[in-house]
């Protein structure tokens, strides 16, 4: 029984979360912890027969903050979820230009100041068509940690820290968070919602279930996945597809064997294929792999065959899972007495593994707003504007990968490059960069709408080799850095980091 406060609160007394996928349990854990001293009852209903989507194994550094906020140590949750560290994402085969056929999108930290300044300096000069080295790979410690299969957690006392994220088994993470939430006071109901009930003013009043009759609540959180049962189907909030920006609408997933004899990889690899791209995610007991593609350009059998060939699993008896993706976002996520969080609110294809980051952002923003100001028109408008801007900002960054591709092997890549449906913000970024203008100022102007840091934008533009041909020699008095200098600087930090496999094995030994 949790202690209660009798102080007046804006938080509704009875909250029902519908859906027990990763989002449902992340939201439950967040609210249970944040409101542990408040007079609020949290209930989560999930349907065993419908099940969860069961994919979603990559994350962003925001996930660290999630576990920190719940006060859960890595040594506790990581072994239970077969989790590994993620230093960043490598993108092979998106561009064809010599020297730029692969690049790495690092997670960095403020301690990377020197490298960031050096990289910006070189990339800016190269965008002005001076012949200086401008591939991001050499400038960031995190790339060297990944390529040497090191853990991003330094083993000695050092000033240098880099940010990082995790890979994990989505089902095991759901299970872990369910146990945590239940231990922290969330009531778990296993049942299927057959009907959503509404009161006269249009609010949701309860749900009708197969076995537990009617469950009433004051506030509802829609975590029902792509079905958007409450937000779209019941409240009629429009779903805005991103189809004209992002063509991919399907995926096929396959696990493969991981051989740890040569160490444990610490990066996601997102390799471009003929009609999309494939992810390769290392867990402690297997690789998670999948091909994200557009059904307008290929079909499920050809996609599965291409993925199997990539993995050398043509004749293996491993079953593939085929998934349809609803890509886009609900016009608003908070409507009346219901907020949608997770796939129900929207989804941007998983190229930058941002879905759970948005879940976390939405849950935190919503919880703080509800607590401080209640369920008012203003609260809803503020949260909806912020969340929509995050969605559109991530969409822009993800779309930029497609826009910058230089492949010509299939119609898919040509069409993506030609796509005229790009946001004004993206158009300006490209225009400024192509002319060798002041990109940093442009990015600062867009700061309120950008989800990704200026360095991430420099990384993608430079890493995919978006430069003019025949660069000139820089003037003698211009300062820049050689590839060797950049690499030596980055490498000078990596001795302080342990082997990834060793660090993960150490976690399992810790009681």
Ligand X SMILES: Cc1cc2nc3c(=O)[nH]c(=O)nc-3n(C[C@H](O)[C@H](O)[C@H](O)COP(=O)(O)OP(=O)(O)OC[C@H]3O[C@@H](n4cnc5c(N)ncnc54)[C@H](O)[C@@H]3O)c2cc1C
Instruction: Please identify every residue annotated as catalytic.
Output: 86
DSSP element (H, E) containing 423: none
**Position 136 contacts ligand X (CB under 6 A):** no
Residues 319 and 451: their CA atoms lie apart, in Å, by 36
The closest alpha carbon to 281, from 468, 80, 64, 57, belongs to 57
CB-CB neighbours of 103 under 10 Å: 23
> 30, 34, 42, 58: which one contacts ligand X (CB under 6 A)?
58
Q: Is 115 within 8 Å of 489 (Cβ atoms)?
A: yes
Report, in Å, the least distance between residue 203 CB and ligand X: 19
- In 216-316, which residue ranges form alpha helices assigned H by DSSP? 300-311
Total residues at interface with ligand X (CB under 6 A): 38
The closest alpha carbon to 266, from 461, 504, 31, belongs to 504
Report, in Å, the least distance between residue 268 CB and ligand X: 8
Nearer to ligand X, 46 or 163 (CB): 46
Nearer to ligand X, 11 or 53 (CB): 53
Q: Which of residues 8-37 bind ligand X (CB under 6 A)?
A: 18-24
> 95, 251, 338, 394: which one contacts ligand X (CB under 6 A)?
251
**Position 228 contacts ligand X (CB under 6 A):** no
Q: Is 267 within 8 Å of 279 (Cβ atoms)?
A: no
Q: Is 50 within 8 Å of 256 (Cβ atoms)?
A: no
Cα-based torsion angle of the residue sequence 257, 262, 265, 271 in order, rounded to the nearest 10 degrees: -70
Report, in Å, the least distance between residue 502 CB and ligand X: 25
Q: Is 134 within 8 Å of 103 (Cβ atoms)?
A: no
- Residues 333-362 as x/- pattern, contact with ligand X by CB under 6 A: ---------xx------x--x-xx------
The closest alpha carbon to 397, from 421, 417, 423, belongs to 423
> 42, 217, 229, 404: which one contacts ligand X (CB under 6 A)?
229
Query: Which sign does the torsion angle of CA 199, 205, 208, 211 carry?
Result: negative
Report, in Å, the least distance between residue 454 CB and ligand X: 23
Residues 277 and 283: their CA atoms lie apart, in Å, by 19
**Position 255 contacts ligand X (CB under 6 A):** no
Nearer to ligand X, 205 or 227 (CB): 227
Looking at the DSSP assignment, which residues form a beta bridge with residue 188?
A: 44
Query: Residue 37: CB partners within 8 Å, gap ≥ 6?
Result: 2, 3, 4, 5
Report, in Å, the least distance between residue 277 CB and ligand X: 11
- Residues 59-98 as x/- pattern, contact with ligand X by CB under 6 A: x---------------------------------------
**Position 227 contacts ligand X (CB under 6 A):** yes
Report, in Å, the least distance between residue 207 CB and ligand X: 8
Report, in Å, the least distance between residue 1 CB and ligand X: 27
**Position 232 contacts ligand X (CB under 6 A):** no
> 30, 34, 52, 162: which one contacts ligand X (CB under 6 A)?
52
Q: What angle do CA 322, 324, 330 make, to 5 degrees?
A: 155
**Position 323 contacts ligand X (CB under 6 A):** yes
**Position 45 contacts ligand X (CB under 6 A):** yes
Nearer to ligand X, 85 or 458 (CB): 85
Burial class (CB in 10 A: 0-12, 13-18, 19+), 448: exposed
> 17, 53, 83, 264: which one contacts ligand X (CB under 6 A)?
53
Nearer to ligand X, 229 or 460 (CB): 229
**Position 182 contacts ligand X (CB under 6 A):** no
Among 96-104, 219-227, 428-436, 441-449, which window interacts with ligand X (CB under 6 A)?
219-227
Residues 135 and 99: their CA atoms lie apart, in Å, by 8
Report, in Å, the least distance between residue 199 CB and ligand X: 20
> 16, 325, 390, 394: which one contacts ligand X (CB under 6 A)?
325
Please write down the long-range contacts of 430-436, taking CB distance under 8 Å and 24 or more positions apart: 430/403, 433/127, 433/461, 433/466, 434/127, 434/466, 434/468, 436/124, 436/127, 436/128, 436/129
Token output for 313: 């699993």
Residues 343 and 226: their CA atoms lie apart, in Å, by 5
> 151, 223, 311, 400: which one contacts ligand X (CB under 6 A)?
223
Residues 177 and 179: their CA atoms lie apart, in Å, by 5
**Position 224 contacts ligand X (CB under 6 A):** yes
DSSP 127: H
> 88, 206, 290, 328: which one contacts ligand X (CB under 6 A)?
290
Among 221-229, 311-319, 373-381, 474-482, which window interacts with ligand X (CB under 6 A)?
221-229
DSSP 232: I
User: Footprint of ligand X on this chain (CB under 6 A)?
Assistant: 18-24, 45-47, 50-53, 55-59, 170, 192-193, 223-225, 227, 229, 251, 290, 292, 323, 325, 342-343, 350, 353, 355-356
């Amino acid at each position: 029984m949790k202690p209660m406060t009798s102080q007046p609160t804006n938080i509704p007394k009875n909250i029902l979360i519908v859906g027990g996928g990763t989002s449902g349990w992340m939201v439950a854990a967040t609210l249970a912890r944040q409101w542990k001293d408040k007079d609020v009852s949290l209930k989560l209903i999930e349907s065993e027969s419908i099940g969860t989507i069961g994919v979603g194994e990559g994350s962003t550094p925001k996930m660290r903050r999630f576990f920190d906020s719940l006060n859960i140590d890595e040594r506790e949750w990581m072994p239970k979820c077969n989790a590994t560290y993620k230093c960043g994402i490598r993108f092979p085969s998106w561009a064809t230009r010599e020297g730029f056929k692969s690049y790495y999108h690092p997670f960095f930290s403020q301690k990377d100041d020197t490298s960031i300044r050096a990289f910006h300096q070189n990339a800016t000069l190269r965008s002005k068509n001076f012949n200086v080295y401008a591939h991001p790979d050499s400038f960031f410690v995190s790339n060297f940690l990944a390529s040497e299969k090191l853990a991003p957690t330094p083993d000695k006392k050092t000033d240098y820290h880099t940010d990082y994220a995790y890979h994990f088994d989505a089902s095991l993470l759901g299970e872990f968070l369910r146990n945590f939430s239940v231990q922290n006071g969330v009531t778990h109901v296993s049942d299927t919602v057959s009907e959503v009930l509404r009161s006269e003013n249009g609010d949701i009043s309860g749900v009708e279930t197969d076995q537990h009759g009617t469950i009433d609540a004051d506030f509802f959180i829609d975590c029902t996945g792509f079905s958007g049962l409450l937000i779209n189907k019941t409240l009629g909030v429009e779903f805005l597809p991103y189809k004209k920006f992002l063509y991919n609408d399907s995926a096929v997933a396959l696990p493969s064997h991981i051989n740890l004899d040569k160490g444990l990889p610490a990066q996601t690899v997102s390799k471009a294929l003929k009609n999309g791209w494939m992810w390769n995610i290392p867990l402690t007991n297997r690789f998670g792999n999948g091909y994200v593609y557009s059904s307008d350009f290929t079909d499920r059998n050809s996609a599965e065959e291409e993925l199997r060939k990539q993995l050398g699993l043509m004749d293996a008896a491993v079953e593939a899972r085929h998934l349809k993706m609803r890509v886009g976002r609900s016009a608003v996520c908070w409507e009346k007495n219901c907020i949608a969080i997770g796939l129900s609110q929207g989804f941007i294809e998983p190229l930058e593994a941002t879905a759970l980051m948005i879940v976390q952002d939405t849950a935190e923003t919503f919880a703080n707003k509800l607590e401080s100001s209640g369920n008012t028109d203003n609260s809803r408008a503020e949260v909806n504007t912020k969340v929509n801007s995050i969605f559109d900002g991530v969409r822009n960054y993800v779309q930029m990968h497609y826009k910058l591709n230089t492949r010509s092997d299939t119609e898919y890549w040509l069409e993506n490059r030609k796509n005229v449906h790009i946001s004004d913000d993206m158009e300006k970024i490209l225009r400024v960069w192509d002319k060798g203008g002041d990109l940093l100022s442009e990015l600062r102007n867009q700061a309120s709408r950008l989800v990704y840091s200026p360095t991430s934008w420099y990384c993608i533009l430079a890493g995919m080799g978006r430069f003019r041909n025949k660069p000139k020699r820089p003037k003698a008095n211009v300062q820049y850095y050689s590839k060797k200098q950049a690499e030596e600087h980055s490498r000078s930090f990596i001795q302080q980091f342990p082997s990834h496999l060793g660090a993960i094995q150490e976690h399992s030994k810790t009681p």
